[in-house]
């Protein structure tokens, strides 16, 4: 169910997520700003359907007129700031700030006197080996830091090795300095410790995006990639095969415990051709981060018992379990996946779990008993 | 039709002879290709030498396998040319 | 009745575990078959030997991508025998390279050619067949009796091709006693199904491989007419005890049962487990994903001879399973087993750009087949 609509105020709002700067060319030739009439219609739509609005702006800060349009709505603001612009004029520290990592970034950070709640830093592959350096400065001004890898489709084992080492260094840095003092949220390191289920982007399921042309898109990347590739407008839209955007229809993600992974639909579609299948790069990145979180649990400053356990894996790509060098039988795979996915339930007793199963789906208990109690398993001819 | 079986070999023995049989046929068909390539002017000396050597070795291994089987299953009444194997059933069957 | 008393369907070579590499040597063909998946014919696109050799070199040097222990080298078109010299050159190169590289495939390969049969008695074709007698498998498309064959398999002027092919087909059966044909049933063919299978039996074809097309050509009552034909065929086969020496793929003891969602979840179609190479050197998961074979969607390239395979594009195919692409009705269908699909047809007809939506055009035809199949086996004395 759609709970949020992202509104791209203009086509000059540059990219703020997992999409490289190359795809801006098709839309940035002319200046297109969303009309006020459309904003009003979206506002009313949001009010009628209890939908939160996320306003995507660049340097044109939210005007008083805009604030008045949305005064009755639940809304938030995300600013994508150009590298040579300062963030001083943004009074609302609950806004999300998005930066492309650049050489001037250091300069900017030193100017900011107060802390933001949420910052997104877009990293290119040539800046991978300065993540620790950037991180050590960013944590002074933000409670939550997100690193987004815009060149992820181009990553090879070299980039992943660099990133892995940077994460190790960040873990060391944290254990000596911050963790003992402050609580921080890091999408690439601490999110995984607190999650017990997937916390994906959910574009197309929880949220959609309205472009400055008034058309609807799965997310802004689809607008930037090709404005013709929309699924209607705010008055009449339909996402074909909407079920394929849902987590339960992602055959690989369902067997993975990288709960912090964003399962970027845009990356899926551009790299593999299907919205529900992640690329190797996305899987490897998520597993490197997951493993770094796992290592962090071993840190002496952390009380392991405050967090859900994360088990060791011998692969970085879960597809290897099915079709790769580490492929295992169906039954062994089921055992392994059940083990890692049930890690957060380790400390619950059997009856609590059974009771929860019954409350969610009473017939599931019947099916479980059929398999375990009667030895009734279908053979390959479908015969009991 | 029911096959008159006079012995049944193990999986490993079947796999071994099947591979040798495939290789023998592959080599003899490759020889025809190599001859054609020579006629087209390709330089095939290296392939040809390797091929001839391999044919010798493979034929020898093939004969040795049958000798071993004849000995193991006490089929001394038969010559190699009078026996064949069904790869699916692993049965040794006399030819007509 | 004992199991030995009826001719079982032939086993697939290497139980279907061989890799199939399909060389589309030409898009040209002498015929204009009405049900052909190639949308436009008559162009002069043919594969160059350079493209074939480059592809072969790439494949033989990439054991990790192609770990199968056996290979089927397949030549298709258009009509492949139009390019018999090219086929011979490609085969010779493939064989010599396998030998020189000590590749395990040298001890385990087959050559498949699917032909319309018009050039079967050509002296160069015959020479090629004799040169590869042990390894070659040919399929000549004789589509049943003359009436049925000439409905669909026609020359550009509309004239049927049966009389031009039948002599070659008899020659083929004399040379290959287990010679097979591939018969396709479309809407107009239904009244001729029984007579066509019987006709092929009378020519000496022991096993008739026949299936309904997957395209959405079926209308109301087609399934009932089809069922009548299968019952007629069943009665003929059983009353004259033809089942001892002849078999038809429509009657299969294993079909028409439910399938377990966990243990019976393999994808029916082999797309993604094979490699098709088009005349320009494009790599495809199956030849049906080439642009000329698709009506609605863009072709699905997974790489090319120069750059190799893009493994991300293969990931969706590796994750395809029966349940991942089927709706609830299909997953829980009580006669699911034996219901087939064509992955490319699914993709071409899907509501969005995905391979994860199964076409249900064939549903009623499959159920009709199941009913006739049940009748057949019950009458034989071995109810399924």
Phi/psi of residue A365, each to 5°?
Answer: -60, -40
Confidence grade of residue A300 (pLDDT, cut at 50, 70, 90): confident
Q: Cβ contact (<8 Å) for C263 and A378? A: yes
Please tell me which residue, A328 or A115, carries the higher pLDDT value.
Answer: A328
Q: What is the number of alpha carbons within 13 Å of residue C378 lying toward its C-beta?
A: 7
More confident residue, A19 or C140: C140
Assign B92 to helix, strand or coil.
strand
Q: Dump strand ranges (E) for chain C.
A: 19-24, 71-76, 109-115, 136-140, 181-185, 207-212, 247-248, 275-277, 282-284, 303-304, 308-309
Q: Using 50, 70 and 90 to split pLDDT, how confident is the model at B2?
A: low
When the pLDDT of each residue in chain A is averaged and rounded to a whole number, the result is 86
Query: What is the pTM (predicted TM-score) of this model?
Result: 0.92
Which is it for the CA torsion B21, B25, B31, B33, positive or negative? negative
Q: Which two tokens stand for residue C226?
A: 């089809």
C78 upstream amide cis, omega within 30 of 0: yes
Q: What is the rounded distance in angstroms from the CA atom of residue A200 to the CA atom of residue A268?
A: 13
DSSP class per residue in A227-249: TT---EETTEE--TTGGGGSGGG
Contact yes or no for B22 and C91 at CB 8 A: no
- Asked if pLDDT for residue C42 goes beyond 90, the answer is no
Banded model confidence at residue A78, pLDDT cuts 50, 70, 90? confident
Select the residue of C4, C92, C100 nearest B33 (Cβ to Cβ): C92
Cβ distance A271 to C311 less than 8 Å, yes or no, reads no
- A382/C311 touch (CB, cutoff 8 Å), yes or no: no
What is the CATH code of the structural domain delimited by A1-153+189-245? 3.20.20.70
Quote the CA–CA distance of A229 and A273 in Å, as a whole number: 15
Write down the pLDDT at residue C193.
98
The pLDDT of residue C45 is 87
Quote the CA–CA distance of C61 and C63 in Å, as a whole number. 6
Q: Write the CB contacts of C173 (distance below 8 Å, at least 6 apart in sequence).
A: C179, C203, C204, C205
pLDDT of C212 > 60? The answer is yes
pLDDT digits (tens, 9 = 90+) for A33-52: 889 999 999 999 999 999 99
pLDDT of residue A260: 97
Which residues of A fall below an 8 Å CB-CB distance to C?
Answer: 240-241, 244, 249, 251-252, 269, 271-281, 319, 322-323, 330, 334, 377-383
R_g (Cα) of chain C, nearest Å: 21
**Residue C312 contacts residue C304 (beta carbons within 8 Å):** no
For residue range A201-252, list pLDDT tens digits in order: 999 999 999 999 999 999 999 998 889 999 999 999 999 999 999 999 999 9
Whether residue A121 contacts residue A148, with contact meaning beta carbons closer than 8 Å, is answered with: yes
SS3 A8: strand
Closest C-alpha among A281, A354, A343 to residue A20: A281
Least confident of A25-29, A325-329, C335-339: A25-29
Least CB–CB distance from A240: residue in C324, C351, C355: C351
pLDDT band at A161 (very low <50, low <70, confident <90, very high): very high
Using DSSP's 3-state secondary structure scheme, residue C223 falls into helix
Share above pLDDT 70 across residues of chain C, in percent, rounded to a whole number: 97
C44, C77 contact by CB (below 8 A): no
* Percent of chain A scoring above 90 in pLDDT: 57
The per-residue pLDDT for A180 is 45
Asked whether C155 and C30 are in contact (CB, 8 A), the reply is yes
Residue A383: pLDDT band with limits 50, 70, 90:
very low
Residues of C in contact with A322 (CB under 8 A): 318-319
Instruction: Give phi and psi for A369, each to the nearest 5.
Output: -65, -35
The residue whose two tokens read 């007579």 is C195
Q: In b/e form, how buried is each residue of A257-291, taking b as 16+ CB within 10 angstroms?
A: bbbbbbbbbbbbbbbbbbbbbbbbbbbbbbbbbbb
**Domain definitions of chain A by residue range:** 1-153+189-245, 350-383
Query: Beta strand pairing status for A216-217 and A207-210?
Result: antiparallel
Model pLDDT, residue A324: 73
- Please report, for chain B, the start and end positions of each structural domain, with discontinuous segments joined by +: 19-94
Nearest by CB to residue C264, choosing from A275, A279, A380, is: A380
Question: Which one of C95, C102, C103 would you mutate to disrupt binding with B, by most B Cβ within 10 Å of its Cβ?
Answer: C95
User: Do chains A and C touch, with touching meaning 3 or more CB–CB pairs less than 8 Å apart?
Assistant: yes
Which residue in C260, C311, C356 is closest to A382 by CB distance?
A: C260
Amino acid A294: pLDDT: 94
- pLDDT tens digits along A97-109: 777 776 556 656 6
Q: Which helix (H) or strand (E) holds C146?
A: helix C146-152
Provide the 3-class DSSP secondary structure of residue C143.
coil
CB atoms under 10 Å from CB of A72, counted, come to 11
Q: Which is it for the CA torsion B74, B77, B80, B82, positive or negative?
A: negative
Q: What is the model's pLDDT at position B67?
A: 94
Q: Which of A255-259, C14-18, C163-167, C209-213 has the lowest mean pLDDT?
A: C14-18
Which of the pair, A84 or A280, is modelled with greater confidence? Answer: A280
* C211: three-class secondary structure by DSSP: strand
Percent of chain B at pLDDT > 90 equals: 66
Q: pLDDT of B17-35, one tens digit each?
A: 999 999 999 999 999 999 8
Between residues C204 and B41, which one has the greater pLDDT? C204
Chain mean position to CA A102: 23
Best residue in A240, A248, A272, A329 to probe C by mutation, most C CBs within 10 Å?
A272
Chains A, C: CB contacts under 8 A, how many? Answer: 79
The DSSP bridge partners found for residue C208 are: C181, C248
Per-residue pLDDT, averaged over A257-275, amounts to 96
**Residue in A241, A273, A280 nearest the CB of C300:** A273
Shortest Cα distance, chain C CAs vs residue A156, angstroms: 13
CB of B45 within 8 Å of a chain C CB? The answer is no
Determine the distance from the C-alpha atom of residue C51 to the mean position of all C-alpha atoms in its chain, rounded to a whole number. 24
CB contact under 8 A, C99 and B47: yes
Residues of A in contact with C351 (CB under 8 A): 240-241
What phi, psi does C43 have (nearest 5°)?
Answer: -85, 170
Cβ-Cβ contacts under 8 Å, C313 against chain A: 272-273
Does C353 contact A322 at a Cβ distance shorter than 8 Å? no
CA C349, C299, A228, A56 dihedral sign is positive
Q: Is the ipTM of this complex over 0.95?
A: no
Average pLDDT over residues A261-279: 96
C-alpha–C-alpha distance, residues C149 and C189, integer Å: 9
Cα–Cα dist C115/C129, whole Å: 13
Yes or no: say if A68 and A62 are a contact pair by the CB < 8 Å rule. no
Backbone angles phi, psi at A367, to 5 degrees: -65, -40
pLDDT at residue A314 above 90? yes
**Using one digit for the tens of pLDDT, what is the confidence trace for C79-127?**
999 999 999 999 999 999 999 999 999 999 999 999 999 999 999 999 9
Rounded to an integer, the average pLDDT of A158-181 is 83
Mean pLDDT of chain B, nearest integer: 90
B33 touches C at CB < 8 Å: yes
Residue C188 above 90 pLDDT?
Answer: yes
Q: Which residues of C226-264 are buried (b: 16+ CB within 10 A; e: fewer)?
A: bbbbbbbbbeebbeeebbeebbbbbbbbebbbbbbeeeb
Q: Which residues of B touch C69 (CB under 8 A)?
A: none
Nearest to C95 among B2, B22, B30 (CB): B30
The predicted-structure confidence for A176-192, as pLDDT tens digits, reads as follows 765 544 577 899 999 99
pLDDT of residue A242: 95
Alpha helices (runs of H) in chain A, residue ranges in sequence order = 36-48, 64-69, 105-111, 131-138, 157-176, 191-194, 220-225, 265-272, 280-296, 319-323, 330-341, 350-360, 362-372
Of A251, A280, A322, the CB nearest to C312: A280
Span between the terminal Cα atoms of chain A, in Å: 38
């Amino acid at each position: 169910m759609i709970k949020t609509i992202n509104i791209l105020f203009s086509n000059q709002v540059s990219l703020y997520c997992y999409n490289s700067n190359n795809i801006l060319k098709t839309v940035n030739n002319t200046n297109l700003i969303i009309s006020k009439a459309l904003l009003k219609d979206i506002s009313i739509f949001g009010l009628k359907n209890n939908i939160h609005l996320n306003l995507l702006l660049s340097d044109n800060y939210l005007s008083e007129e805009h604030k008045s349009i949305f005064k009755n709505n639940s809304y938030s603001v995300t600013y994508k700031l150009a590298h040579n612009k300062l963030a001083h004029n943004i009074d609302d520290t609950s806004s999300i700030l998005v930066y492309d990592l650049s050489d001037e970034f250091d300069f900017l950070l030193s100017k900011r006197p107060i802390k933001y709640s949420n910052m997104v830093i877009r990293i290119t592959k040539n800046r991978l080996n300065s993540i620790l350096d950037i991180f050590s400065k960013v944590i002074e001004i933000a409670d939550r830091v997100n690193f987004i890898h815009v060149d992820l489709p181009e990553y090879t084992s070299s980039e992943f090795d660099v990133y892995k080492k940077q994460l190790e260094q960040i873990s060391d840095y944290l254990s000596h300095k911050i963790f003992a003092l402050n609580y921080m949220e890091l999408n690439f390191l601490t999110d995984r410790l607190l999650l017990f289920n997937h916390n994906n982007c959910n574009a197309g399921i929880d949220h959609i995006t309205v472009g400055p042309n008034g058309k609807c898109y799965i997310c802004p990347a689809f607008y930037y990639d090709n404005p013709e590739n929309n699924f209607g407008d705010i008055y009449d839209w339909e996402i074909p095969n909407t079920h394929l955007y849902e987590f339960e229809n992602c055959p690989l993600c369902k067997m993975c415990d990288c709960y912090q992974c964003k399962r970027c639909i845009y990356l899926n579609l551009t790299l593999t051709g299907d919205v529900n299948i992640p690329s190797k790069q996305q899987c490897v990145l998520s597993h490197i981060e997951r493993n770094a979180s796992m290592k962090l649990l071993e840190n002496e400053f952390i009380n392991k018992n405050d967090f859900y356990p994360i088990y060791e894996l011998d692969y970085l790509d879960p597809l290897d379990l099915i079709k790769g060098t580490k492929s295992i039988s169906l039954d062994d795979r089921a055992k392994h996946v059940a083990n890692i996915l049930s890690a957060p339930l380790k400390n619950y007793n059997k009856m609590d779990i059974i009771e929860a199963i019954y409350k969610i789906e009473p017939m599931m208990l019947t099916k479980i008993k059929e398999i375990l109690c009667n030895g009734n398993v279908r053979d390959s001819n479908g015969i009991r | 039709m029911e096959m008159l079986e006079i012995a049944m070999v193990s999986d490993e023995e079947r796999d071994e002879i099947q591979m040798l049989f495939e290789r023998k046929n592959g080599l003899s068909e490759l020889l025809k290709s190599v001859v054609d390539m020579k006629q087209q002017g390709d330089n095939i000396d290296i392939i040809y030498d390797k091929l001839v050597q391999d044919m010798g070795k493979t034929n020898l291994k093939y004969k040795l396998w049958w000798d071993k089987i004849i000995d193991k299953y006490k089929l001394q009444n038969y010559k190699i040319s009078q026996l064949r194997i069904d790869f699916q059933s692993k049965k040794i069957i006399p030819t007509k | 009745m004992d199991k030995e008393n009826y001719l079982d369907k032939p086993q697939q070579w290497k139980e279907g575990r061989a890799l199939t590499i399909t060389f589309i040597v030409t898009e040209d063909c002498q015929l204009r078959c009405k049900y052909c998946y190639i949308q436009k014919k008559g162009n002069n696109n043919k594969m160059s030997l350079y493209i074939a050799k480059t592809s072969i070199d790439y494949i033989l040097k990439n054991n990790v991508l192609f770990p199968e222990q056996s290979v089927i080298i397949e030549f298709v078109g258009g009509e492949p025998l139009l390019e018999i010299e090219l086929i011979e050159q490609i085969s010779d190169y493939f064989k010599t390279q396998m030998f020189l590289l000590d590749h395990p495939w040298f001890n385990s390969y087959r050559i498949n050619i699917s032909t319309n049969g018009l050039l079967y008695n050509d002296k160069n074709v015959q020479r090629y067949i004799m040169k590869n007698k042990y390894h070659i498998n040919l399929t000549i498309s004789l589509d049943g009796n003359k009436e049925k064959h000439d409905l669909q398999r026609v020359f550009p002027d509309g004239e049927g091709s049966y009389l031009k092919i039948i002599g070659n087909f008899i020659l083929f059966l004399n040379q290959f006693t287990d010679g097979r044909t591939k018969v396709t049933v479309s809407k107009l063919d239904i009244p001729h199904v029984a007579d066509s299978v019987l006709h092929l039996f009378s020519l000496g074809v022991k096993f008739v491989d026949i299936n309904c097309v997957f395209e959405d050509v079926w209308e109301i009552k087609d399934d009932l007419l089809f069922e009548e034909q299968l019952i007629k065929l069943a009665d003929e086969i059983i009353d004259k005890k033809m089942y001892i020496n002849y078999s038809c793929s429509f009657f299969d003891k294993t079909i028409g049962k439910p399938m377990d969602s966990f243990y019976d979840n393999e994808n029916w179609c082999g797309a993604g487990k094979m490699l098709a190479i088009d005349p320009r050197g494009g790599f495809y998961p199956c030849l049906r994903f080439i642009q000329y074979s698709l009506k609605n969607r863009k072709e699905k390239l997974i790489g090319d001879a120069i750059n190799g395979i893009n493994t991300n594009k293969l990931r969706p195919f590796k994750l395809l399973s029966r349940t991942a692409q089927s709706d609830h009705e299909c997953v829980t269908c009580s006669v699911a087993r034996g219901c087939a699909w064509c992955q490319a047809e699914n993709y071409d007809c899907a509501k969005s750009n995905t391979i994860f939506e199964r076409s249900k055009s064939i549903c009623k035809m499959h159920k009709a087949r199941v009913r006739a199949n049940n009748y057949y086996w019950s009458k034989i004395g071995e109810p399924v």
